[in-house]
Structure 1
Amino acid sequence: MTVLPANRALLPAIAAGFLVFSITLAAADILDFPTTRSDLSAEELKRVRDVTRATSNFLKAEPYETMQGGSLTSIDKVTRDIFSQPSANLNPEQGQDFHLGNALFRKLWVSAPSSTQASDGLGPLFNARSCQSCHVRDGRGHPPEEVGAAATSMVLRLARPAATPEEEQAVKDFHALNFPDSTYGAQLQDLAVPGLAAEGKVTLSYSEETVTLAGGETVTLRKPMYGISDLAYGPMNVNTTISPRIAPPMIGLGLIEAIPDADILANADPDDKKGTGIRGRPAIVRDHRTGQLALGRFGWKAQNATVRDQVADAFSIDIGISTSDRPNPYGDCTAKEPQCLAMPNGVQERLGTTEAPDPVLPLVTFYSENLAVPARRTTSQPTVLHGKDMFYRSGCAACHTPKFVTRDGLKGSDGKDSPQAFQLIWPYSDFLLHDMGEGLSDGQQVGVASGRDWRTPPLWGIGLTQTVSGQQAYLHDGRARTLTEAILWHGGEAEKARNAFAGLSKDDRQALINFLESL
């Protein structure tokens, strides 16, 4: 068995400073990103700044706080399918596209050749047969529940450091985020079509440590150790790192993409000029379609700039289905896996040049952009308001920025007015990268993100995790079984906030958790 701990911080290349180059000035200064919004007049800009300013009044709920996804918010009854509702402001034509995208999101792909030619092309190596397999009910994934269980909604990303000056330059120029394992590619595929061996199996074990909080309450944290058994195609590169990633919830993605670059960059402070200890940095990537530099917003390390980039990547790497954006029908197969490359693919000439010809990708993208954020519950309850106060006082809002207003005059990919335009939203994220400490490090560089860096995840909908997913699993690898555990794993820039939470009285800590559960 190959055991590759998630924390590979002592790899020689990384220890020597492998491309850990920080953006030491605002990205807007270096890369000519906008420093102010161009979609608003001076008067409108002032109104937006006023409405998004952090509150200091915790005696009552803020105006529109319940509708955390703006006019797109779902006010449907809370059930296990609450994350699967469409944006509330879709017109009939958009509603039809949403439901078509939903059908394709749930579609089970099969191996080629098949009598169902519009559905074949799976793999040949893959992690899931459909998008819905990982994002069950459009919610959060989880690690394997027991030894030997299928990973399904968790994957192991594989990457090695740059090995040549040319590769180093490619990362510096944002043409590469990192480099795949020469045999197993960018991700371990633990499933395969008939007649082909899967790449390997995920192994997972935990050690435990006990944390004592103010007042004597104790919490047990579990520290994961990941490995890979039954490697089918030879050894892995000795410098390959692995990073476990559970599937994130799907709600509000279109709204996140609609936040102006300038408003995200306004919160960046890589040199800590404010003296807060918070050094949020933007993830700079290239848009996969245009090749232009863009602000990374999606993925655990903000490695994708758009929802479409994220969807195309998942089709290719997770399912092994080619699309117009990623036309390789063999997905993540490598030259050292000739059996995989010799398998039939699902390209049907009469249907197009890819296994999922357009409009599959645009429709799944539209569906992903328009999964509604549910309305908040118990917003005005005294204990929730008190917990919100504790959230702010503990410093959580320094990274989990409460609210934004999306771009005005926004157009969709169809050229029509976008449902996401000019909405007051409450994602509770700054969408920047932060050093989260050695405890959460995976040792894997992803573009400008070091092994210790993670994008601040949005918190909207987090209180419905148990309802939607049937269990709770938080952080990038699902190690935290409760919100309290998730907070206690925070380190690095977030250690001060973590310690403030741990030092609260039991009632104050519970109030803060109640606030999170209301989101």
Structure 2
Amino acid sequence: MLKKQKFNFSFFRLVLTKSLVAIFATGLFAVNNTGDFFSTKKDKSLMLKPISGMNNEQYDKFILGRSFFVIPWVEAPSATTARDGLGPLFNANTCVSCHAGNGRGTLYNKKGKPSRSLVARLSIASNGSFEHKELLNKNGFIPHPVYGAQISINGIHGVDFEARVKIDFEKIKVKFPDGEIDELLKPKYELINKNYGKISEDTAITYRIAPSLHGLGLIEKISNEDILKNVDENDSNNDGISGKANMVYSPKTKKYELGKYTWKASSASVIEQSAAAASSDMGLTSMYFMNENCTSSQKECNDAPKAVHKEDITPQRLEAISFYLKNTKAYKPKQTQEFKEGLEIFESIGCVKCHANNFKTSDNLTISPYSDFLLHNMGEQLSDNRNEFNASSKEWRTSPLWGLSLHEKINKKRPRLLHDGRARDFQEAILWHGGEANSVKENYMNLPKQTRKKLLKFLGSI
């Protein structure tokens, strides 16, 4: 009897040991390792790679999500029922058409024409009707009655595209206190080849370039409390910065949530933003956006053949896409002496007041997204005459800066910065800052030229 008890205990200990090994191997009780999420290698395909420590089921889900992100969608009806439903109006047939390497979009394509990464979004003022109030409550804006919320540059067979974007600039010279002169490009974008009639002059048209998808899952792991503690809407500490939260309607929870994503923080989660982009950019329906993106004025669009299923992207596939985006590797620069000197300048002139560089995730990982994810008044020069939920026309979410150094690797050219791609480099982006950021811009302009160069090199490394 004693021998039997001893044998069972040994066997139990052996089984327990093997079980724990299996559990840790699948990551169920794993302690966070920064290396699982980040890499210090500037690799053009880094943001396509999965984080480390996935089990087989997670990896399969990651690969499934990536397939729906990169493989083209087709118009209905099609034998490829898993990927039909494109359009009837759309801009691109894949997500990677606008997010090459999961990075930031380009302003021009390889032929020197306007890229599909630059989209035109439309909205009109409210007439006070019940319909408009409902649209404001659920969408945060009122779409154009004929062209809808976003211009589509493509249409399926038998459906005319809506319009094309024409890119032009006005050159503006800026002189520094030390005599240096830089040239800014003020965009004069316009819509041409409009196939559904004129657009009234009182329509707000804003041009947006596809943002980077770097670190989306890590951003979602930042608690709302950590973001909201930086809100200072009335500038009670008199530092000139008055961050504001954008509380947006969530089609997932059916209530108002903290917006963290998009240029004006108008989406609360990765899955909702993925569904919104699928709808507006590719005309794909899902559980959160069930209607085709046709307006009542677009007969051919409404009469176009429909996919077999009401949802072009099923909940399982949408969840897989979201899982893929939330579990790709992120870039973390090496903490060299040069990096530390640049960071010190970044902090000393006040950039860090909005581009916050220290957050803790829900699993206790320290991250540096260089954003507070709040809205800030950026001045008249960056106004787009469009409100989105709590965001006014002059207010923009602080754009995360992390991972921008990868985009030159991905696209073989420096990234175009700001919401509409007007800035060709970091200095131009800084010089466009106004409103709350005006004093920080002046601090930058008053730095010695060599110090400015150190800061720009730092920004190009993160």
Fold equivalence (TM over 0.5): yes
CA-CA distance at 1:76 after TM superposition? 6.6
CA-CA distance at 1:147 after TM superposition? 10
Residue identity matched to 1:113: P
Residue identity matched to 2:199: M
2:267·2:273 contact (CA, 8 Å) conserved in 1? Answer: yes
Aligned with residue 161 of structure 1, among 118, 125, 129: 125
Cα gap change, 1:153/1:386 in structure 2, threshold over 3 Å: closer, same or farther?
same
Highest Rg: 1 or 2? 2
2:330 is paired with a residue whose SS is: coil
Structure 2 CA distance, aligned partners of 1:517 and 1:227? 31
Structure 2 CA distance, aligned partners of 1:498 and 1:120? 48
Residue identity matched to 2:361: T
CA-CA distance at 1:240 after TM superposition? 1.6
2:135·2:142 contact (CA, 8 Å) conserved in 1? Answer: no
| Structure 1 residue ranges without an equivalent (≥5) | 1-67, 408-420
1:384-433 per-position Cα deviation (integer Å, ceiling 9, x unaligned):
222111111110000011111112xxxxxxxxxxxxx3321111110000
1:38-87 per-position Cα deviation (integer Å, ceiling 9, x unaligned):
xxxxxxxxxxxxxxxxxxxxxxxxxxxxxx99454332742221221222
Structure 1 CA distance, aligned partners of 2:55 and 2:446? 49
| Structure 2 residue ranges without an equivalent (≥5) | 1-31
Structure 2 CA distance, aligned partners of 1:242 and 1:179? 12
Structure 2 CA distance, aligned partners of 1:219 and 1:91? 51
Structure 2 CA distance, aligned partners of 1:167 and 1:499? 45
Residue identity matched to 1:452: K
Cα gap change, 1:176/1:110 in structure 2, threshold over 3 Å: closer, same or farther?
closer
Aligned with residue 405 of structure 1, among 352, 360, 363: 360
1:239 is paired with a residue whose SS is: coil
Structure 1 CA distance, aligned partners of 2:64 and 2:73? 16
Trace 1:436-455 onto structure 2 (pairs within 5 A).
Answer: 436-455=378-397
1:116-147 per-position Cα deviation (integer Å, ceiling 9, x unaligned):
23222110100110111110110001223699
Partner of 2:402: 460
Partner of 1:130: 94
Aligned with residue 96 of structure 1, among 44, 48, 60: 60
Residue identity matched to 2:105: G
2:163·2:193 contact (CA, 8 Å) conserved in 1? Answer: yes
Residue identity matched to 2:301: C
2:227·2:374 contact (CA, 8 Å) conserved in 1? Answer: yes
Say yes or no: does 1:356 pair with 2:317.
no
Say yes or no: does 1:508 pair with 2:451.
yes
Aligned with residue 263 of structure 1, among 203, 207, 226: 226
Structure 2 CA distance, aligned partners of 1:78 and 1:338? 49
Aligned with residue 338 of structure 1, among 299, 311, 321: 299
Aligned with residue 477 of structure 1, among 420, 430, 437: 420
By relative contact order (CA 8 Å, sep 6+), the higher-ranking structure is: 1
CA-CA distance at 1:231 after TM superposition? 1.1
Structure 2 CA distance, aligned partners of 1:76 and 1:406? 19
Structure 1 CA distance, aligned partners of 2:188 and 2:459? 28
Trace 1:33-44 onto structure 2 (pairs within 5 A).
Answer: none
Aligned with residue 173 of structure 2, among 202, 210, 222: 210
Residue identity matched to 2:123: A
Structure 1 CA distance, aligned partners of 2:336 and 2:280? 44
Number of paired residues?
Answer: 430
Residue identity matched to 2:203: T
Partner of 2:367: 425
Structure 2 CA distance, aligned partners of 1:165 and 1:84? 46
Say yes or no: does 1:370 pair with 2:327.
yes
Which moved further from structure 2: 273-282 or 463-472?
A: 463-472
Residue identity matched to 1:231: K
Residue identity matched to 2:314: P
Which moved further from structure 2: 136-145 or 431-440?
A: 136-145
Structure 2 CA distance, aligned partners of 1:467 and 1:309? 29
Trace 1:11-22 onto structure 2 (pairs within 5 A).
Answer: none
Structure 2 CA distance, aligned partners of 1:86 and 1:112? 32
Structure 2 CA distance, aligned partners of 1:258 and 1:233? 43
Which moved further from structure 2: 208-217 or 505-514?
A: 208-217
Cα gap change, 1:260/1:457 in structure 2, threshold over 3 Å: closer, same or farther?
same
Partner of 1:225: 188
CA-CA distance at 1:192 after TM superposition? 0.8
Structure 1 CA distance, aligned partners of 2:50 and 2:214? 10
Structure 2 CA distance, aligned partners of 1:69 and 1:182? 50
CA-CA distance at 1:169 after TM superposition? 4.8
Structure 1 CA distance, aligned partners of 2:33 and 2:431? 28
Partner of 1:496: 439
Structure 2 CA distance, aligned partners of 1:306 and 1:467? 28
1:244 is paired with a residue whose SS is: strand
Cα gap change, 1:194/1:175 in structure 2, threshold over 3 Å: closer, same or farther?
closer
2:453 is paired with a residue whose SS is: helix
2:286·2:313 contact (CA, 8 Å) conserved in 1? Answer: yes
Residue identity matched to 2:458: F
